[in-house]
Amino acid sequence: MSSSLTKPNEIEAITALAAKSFARVLSTEQRERPRGSLRRYRFESRSEALSAAPEDLSWSIMGELEDSEPGSFAILWERMKEVARDELESGQRAAAVACGQDSPLNRARFLVLREKYIDEWQPRNVLESQLIDAICQAQTIREYWMKLATERVATECMVERFTIELHGKRREHIIDGTESAREAREEAERWDRVFLRSIRALRDLRRYAAAVIVNNQGGQVNVATDQSQQTNAVKRIEKKKR
């Protein structure tokens, strides 16, 4: 990948940020670790860094490789942006926010849900794509809190049943599982409102899309939306006979 694709001003800004970050890391490690035991994570070459997971690269690593192999910083930075672009377009970025890394099945559920919305809405631009991601995130998080509320109520019932069987009476109010279930329900309701607002935003974006009107000669009016659907209206003008 050519480093010429990188904007010069962007590299300058990112390099300055990397230098400041590396300086903070060194300062912290020198304070917290004994002298002579400073730990440094290294890659032996640029090719090794390019084959590593992007999460394993840090500002300090990129700076060290730039010192040993000039031009490495720009190349690695372009790779970072390529990975970030792929994450955005594939939905992995949105999925990481809503699902985390805990379960492959939850990640698959999110991406399948996203595919369904994309098939249905056919997003026309990045704004509509981002709204679909927001809808899927809100729905996923809402379902998480709904499930948690149900589980907390079920746990509370089991504890209450066990207490009655053991002591012959209901327990004193010590642990309020009902309160935690209520909090989970409130979170589910809050994310349901976020879900509905995101849907309305996407709907309104489609509904109020600006129309382009072109008046042509001969009384013909072309009305086109940004979906390139054009309607022609012809106005007939009758000449008055004198």
State whether 200 and 113 are in the same domain.
yes
End-of-domain residue from the set 90, 116, 139: 90
In angstroms, the CA 184 to CA 49 distance is: 43
Beta strands at 230-234 and 212-215: parallel, antiparallel or unpaired: unpaired
Residue 236: closest CA among 217, 216, 215, 219? 219
pLDDT at res. 192 = 97
CB 149 within 8 A of CB 184: yes
CB 98 within 8 A of CB 107: no
State whether 149 and 169 are in the same domain.
yes
Per-residue pLDDT at 2 exceeds 60: no
Q: Which domain holds residue 59?
A: 3-90
In angstroms, the CA 126 to CA 138 distance is: 18
State whether 199 and 101 are in the same domain.
yes
Per-residue pLDDT at 241 exceeds 60: no
Burial class (CB in 10 A: 0-12, 13-18, 19+), 112: exposed
CB 82 within 8 A of CB 60: no
Q: Which helix or strand (DSSP H or E) is residue 242 part of?
A: none
How many domains, the chain? Answer: 3
Q: Could you please report the per-residue DSSP string of 85-140? A: HHHHHHTHHHHHHHHTTS-HHHHHHHHHHHHHHHHHH---SHHHHHHHHHHHHHHH
State whether 9 and 42 are in the same domain.
yes
> pTM for the complete prediction?
0.67
User: How confident is the model over 138-196, as pLDDT tens digits?
Assistant: 999 999 999 999 988 887 777 777 777 777 666 655 555 578 888 999 999 999 999 99
